[in-house]
């Protein structure tokens, strides 16, 4: 079993603010489990984060985000370009409003994550 680190331990070892590490866990950049009010991060995740930061990226994102271009799809939603989003996601019809558009993008992203876990 690998060692588990707290967010302050990870932050200190990587010269980051603890809130940054917590935000990356919440965004899904790295995995961590919340136990009794604190996040515990596996050693493998810390090593992965070190490698990403060595490459000079300021904020690492999961590979799936880049593949699906989630930030770009959200931007299309915000600009009422629902037809483009529907075409890229293979939806039968475009979303009716921004909220529905965001929801559709999130569903596809979460579905993709679950399929990769299998």
- Give per-residue pLDDT as tens, 16-38: 889 888 888 887 778 888 899 89
- pTM across the whole model: 0.48
Distance CA 79, CA 100 (A): 13
Average pLDDT over residues 102-106: 86
Residue 118 has pLDDT above 90, yes or no: no
Across the chain, what does the average pLDDT equal?
79
Domains for the chain: give ranges and CATH numbers: 4-54 (1.10.1660.10), 63-117 (no CATH)
Distance CA 77, CA 60 (A): 23
According to DSSP, residue 93 is labeled S
Determine the pLDDT at residue 24. Answer: 82
Local confidence band at 55 (pLDDT 50, 70, 90 cut-offs): confident
């Amino acid at each position: 079993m690998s060692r588990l680190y707290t967010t302050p331990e990870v932050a200190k070892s990587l010269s980051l603010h603890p809130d940054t590490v917590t935000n990356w866990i919440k965004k899904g950049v790295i995995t961590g489990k919340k136990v009794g009010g604190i996040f515990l991060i596996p050693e493998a995740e810390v090593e992965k984060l070190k490698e990403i930061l060595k490459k000079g990226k300021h904020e690492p994102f999961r590979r799936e985000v880049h593949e699906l271009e989630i930030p770009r799809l959200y931007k299309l939603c915000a600009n009422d370009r629902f037809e483009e989003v529907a075409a890229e996601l293979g939806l039968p019809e475009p979303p009716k409003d921004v909220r529905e558009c965001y929801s559709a993008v999130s569903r596809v992203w979460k579905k993709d994550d679950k399929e990769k876990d299998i």
